[in-house]
Amino acid sequence: MKIEEFKDFTIQDYHHLLEEKKISPLELVNIFLERIEEGEDKIHAFLFVNEEKAKNEAREKTDNWPEELPPLWGLPVAIKDNICTQGMPTTCGSKMLENFVSPYDATVVERLKAAGAIILGKTNMDEFAMGSSTENSTFGPTHNPLDLRRTPGGSSGGSAASVCALEAPCALGSDTGGSVRQPAAFCGVVGLRPTYGRVPRYGVVGLASSLDQAGPITRKVEDAITILEVISGKDSRDSTCAPYPPFSRNEIPSLEDIRKIKVGVPREYFSSRVEKVIGEKIQEALGKLKGEGVELVEVSLPHTDYALEAYYIVASAEASSNLARYDGVMYGLRVEGEDLQDMYFETRTLGFGKEVKRRIILGTYSLSSGHYDEYYLKSMKVRTLVRKDFEEALKQCNLLITPTTPSFPFFLGEETQDLYERYTDDIFTIPSALAGLPSLSLNCGYEGGLPVGLQIIGGPFEEGKLLGLALWLEKLLALPSPFPELKEGRGQ
């Protein structure tokens, strides 16, 4: 089979092919490895390709075909490089961990493997997940497969680009303030941030521990459901993980019940900051739902504009604490100095990039004596107000629909030219992250070949309603799946 035949495949489609023995795991892995070889010199989605081990594992599965296949059996999956994967590099896109090989699997990787998945490799990302373009990676930027001059978003840009280019059927990313949803929007694929605590964080390298959440990036909503069923559920090794069983697709309401859902449209998310075409595409999607009988209600999230500032203080403060462990003593980069203090200084100076240093300094300052109350404590109070905004809005409706981003994918290099503008690109994904709510980005149209992301936000642990609406809306929109040709020089 050829890679283009998989353009509209879901995980279930791959599963049926394998069940019927129309393709073997080894053949499937080889097809995706060939696609990676074809596209990587242009896209740079992967930092590490697990070629030999993936082939060996696929060969073993091919030789030992079980009677009943686990849900992801034989399926190649890509993993963001801040998620620990045994025997593979986990660099977090940083020189600090350039030579670090993880001795264990994160819980989410354990669960993927237990479901039969084969790990294709580790994907590029902004250093320690700090950024929205994947340009902050120590190992070079990732290019958007839909236009190689543009960013795929970040920080999970490598994962989104790999799925968009069909270098992998699906991937895992992590989302602190929008790092799954924003790149999914920029690459025209599906990105799900589950409720905080729904998916274990054990083995996911921490940026901001009260915000971080692993989630799937897929080509179809159905695939996000399948992956969520596998990776969710309680984990005794993660004290922040909710004591709930794994998500089940049985939680998704019937289409009849989905039609009765009230959809809230927050007025603050359709302001002048949104590019006109993006607003129009979202309104067209809302019009389709209204035409099907869905009730739309206008709601308000009044503290939206304050969420951005609060997030960058809270996330930077937690990052400052989390990244204090990278000091050259136990693991990672070590640069010798005249004494211990000098070794710390030299190691962290050389090991961290500009954006990471910027946020460590901001976070340390916010937590310092005399500034804690003024910055960190006040930001936590704003976070509470943001959460209450969502609680009040969701009393008037069941789900919210907003744009995922206010702009189209920006050109590579623009992040460094206008840093503040790049920070504000996360204005629509950050508030729900601060509130710990589940949210999903879905492609709702194209303009000039570039996708428009639509975001659906639900109440805590209401992924069933969210995914039910997303499935239906995806069907109503009936948009083509991305499949870039990856010709030499395209978009350059």
The yes-or-no answer on residue 179 being catalytic is yes
Task: State the residue for tokens 């010798």.
Answer: 336
- Residue 5 burial (C-beta neighbours within 10 Å; 0-12, 13-18, 19+): exposed
* Set 24, 94, 155, 316: catalytic member: 155
Contacts of 129 (CB under 8 A, 6+ apart): 82, 92, 155, 156, 174, 176, 179, 207, 212
Sign of CA dihedral 50, 29, 56, 113: positive
Contacts of 465 (CB under 8 A, 6+ apart): 252, 253, 258, 261, 398, 399, 458, 459
Nearest to 223 by CA among 163, 283, 277: 163
The yes-or-no answer on residue 155 being catalytic is yes
Contacts of 185 (CB under 8 A, 6+ apart): 153, 191, 404, 405, 441, 443, 451, 452, 453, 455
| Residue 214 CA from chain centroid, whole number | 7
H runs (alpha helix) in 89-220: 107-114, 157-164, 181-187
* Set 179, 366, 379, 432: catalytic member: 179
| Residue 406 CA from chain centroid, whole number | 18
How far is it, in rounded angstroms, from Cα 484 to Cα 189? 13
* Set 24, 42, 61, 80: catalytic member: 80
Nearest to 303 by CA among 264, 265, 266, 262: 266
- Residue 447 burial (C-beta neighbours within 10 Å; 0-12, 13-18, 19+): middle
In DSSP terms, which residues pair with 144 in a beta bridge?
A: 147
Nearest to 405 by CA among 195, 176, 188: 188
Contacts of 236 (CB under 8 A, 6+ apart): none
How far is it, in rounded angstroms, from Cα 432 to Cα 347? 36
Contacts of 156 (CB under 8 A, 6+ apart): 80, 123, 125, 129, 171, 173, 174, 175, 179, 180, 183, 191, 217
Q: Please list the active-site residues.
A: 80, 155, 179
